[in-house]
């Protein structure tokens, strides 16, 4: 199997499968055997975490971030520090913290004289992170650069880019049961403004934003706005406990498949919290995580028509 084929095969798998067998080969960087040993220990500690539930693996990811940052500080201007920077981005990527992952990948790419295979892998995961953030323009630029090195790896983004949910398109429809067994048919909410909230109890950022989201629900719930939660929890008992504690009044959909669940896949959700706002025609009008922005767009949509909603 040639070098090009190996890259294409590994590029479409988990990021952790890429963590062995390459060198930075940066012209002005030196090699440090002590740093290399520390890096190998970190790699081994991380190698099995993707098989764990996120809430169980979270502490290990956080420990890895600390260890990688310590290595980068101690062995600055070494090949191992540059590799550690890539792994730092990879850990953030696996934690779905794309905002912090992208600068790590950029730091590697700015080094310049690095091995082309290493560069291609870095570009690949930078593009993945940009797509997850919804920055399609920057993702396309990154994929264009990747295509100059590994065309087939770049081509693997074709389906992913074509499946992106975008502002103005018809929302993908679904008809499922919520976690209490109540039918939730998106098509029947046409005539209302609909807010889809992708979240999970294991995500600290979701819990931090929840009070603001609940306040927004109280503001709009009687004004023709339908709220639907899509939980990416691993365990339904986590969702049930939280729903009871917070007295959640809007439907919560759960299938226990996290990112691979039907609805997250339909909407190409790769980070949470993520909110999608649909207008009365079930067209996508907002994709993002800023609740203040959601409130503003919903207020605008409510003012566009005085027709009575189908559901209250």
Q: How far is CA 242 from CA 237, 251, 253, 255, in A?
A: 8, 13, 14, 16
Q: H or E segment at 45?
A: helix 33-46
Domain boundaries for CATH 1.25.40.10 within the chain = 3-162
Compute the distance between CA of residue 143 and CA of residue 140 in angstroms, rounded to an integer. 5
| pLDDT score at 139 | 86
| pLDDT score at 161 | 66
**Cβ atoms of residues 8 and 149 within 8 Å:** no
Q: Which two tokens stand for residue 14?
A: 């988990």
Q: At what angle do helices 136-147 and 116-133 cross, to 10 degrees?
A: 160
| pLDDT score at 67 | 95
Compute the distance between CA of residue 185 and CA of residue 165 in angstroms, rounded to an integer. 19
Quick one: 175-304 is in which CATH superfamily? Glutaredoxin (3.40.30.10)
Per-residue DSSP letter, 166: -
In the predicted model, residues of the chain with pLDDT beneath 70 are: 1-27, 159-164, 305-312
Question: What is the fold, at CATH topology level, of the domain defined by 3-162?
Answer: 1.25.40
pLDDT in tens, 237-270: 999 999 999 999 999 999 998 888 899 988 888 8
CB atoms within 10 A of CB 290: 14
Domain boundaries for CATH 3.40.30.10 within the chain = 175-304
**Cβ atoms of residues 166 and 21 within 8 Å:** no
């Amino acid at each position: 199997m040639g070098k090009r084929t190996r890259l294409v095969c590994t590029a479409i798998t988990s990021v952790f499968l890429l963590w062995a067998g390459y060198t930075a080969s940066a012209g002005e960087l030196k090699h440090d055997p002590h740093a290399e040993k520390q890096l190998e220990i970190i790699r081994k500690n991380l190698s099995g975490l993707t098989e764990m539930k996120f809430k169980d693996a979270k502490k290990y990811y956080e420990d890895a971030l600390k260890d990688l940052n310590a290595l980068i500080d101690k062995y600055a201007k070494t090949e191992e520090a540059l590799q550690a920077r890539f792994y730092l981005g990879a850990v953030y990527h696996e934690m779905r913290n794309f905002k912090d992952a992208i600068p790590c990948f950029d730091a590697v790419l700015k080094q310049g004289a690095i091995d082309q295979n290493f560069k291609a892998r870095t570009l690949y995961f930078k593009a993945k992170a940009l797509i997850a953030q919804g920055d399609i323009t920057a993702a396309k630029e990154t994929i264009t650069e990747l295509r100059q090195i590994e065309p087939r790896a770049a081509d693997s983004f074709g389906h992913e880019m074509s499946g992106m949910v975008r502002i103005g398109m018809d929302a993908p429809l679904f008809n499922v049961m919520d976690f209490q067994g109540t039918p939730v048919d998106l098509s029947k909410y046409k005539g209302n403004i609909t807010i889809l909230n992708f979240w999970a109890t294991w995500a600290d950022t979701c819990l931090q934003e929840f009070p603001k989201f609940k306040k927004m629900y109280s503001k709009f719930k009687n004004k023709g706005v339908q709220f639907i939660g899509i939980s990416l929890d691993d365990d339904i008992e986590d969702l049930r406990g939280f729903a009871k504690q917070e007295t959640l009044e809007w439907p919560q959909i759960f299938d226990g498949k996290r990112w691979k669940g039907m609805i997250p896949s339909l909407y190409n959700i790769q980070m949470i919290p993520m909110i999608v706002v649909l207008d009365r025609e079930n067209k996508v009008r907002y994709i993002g995580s800023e609740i203040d922005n959601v409130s503003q767009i919903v207020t605008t949509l409510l003012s566009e028509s005085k027709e009575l909603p189908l559901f209250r």
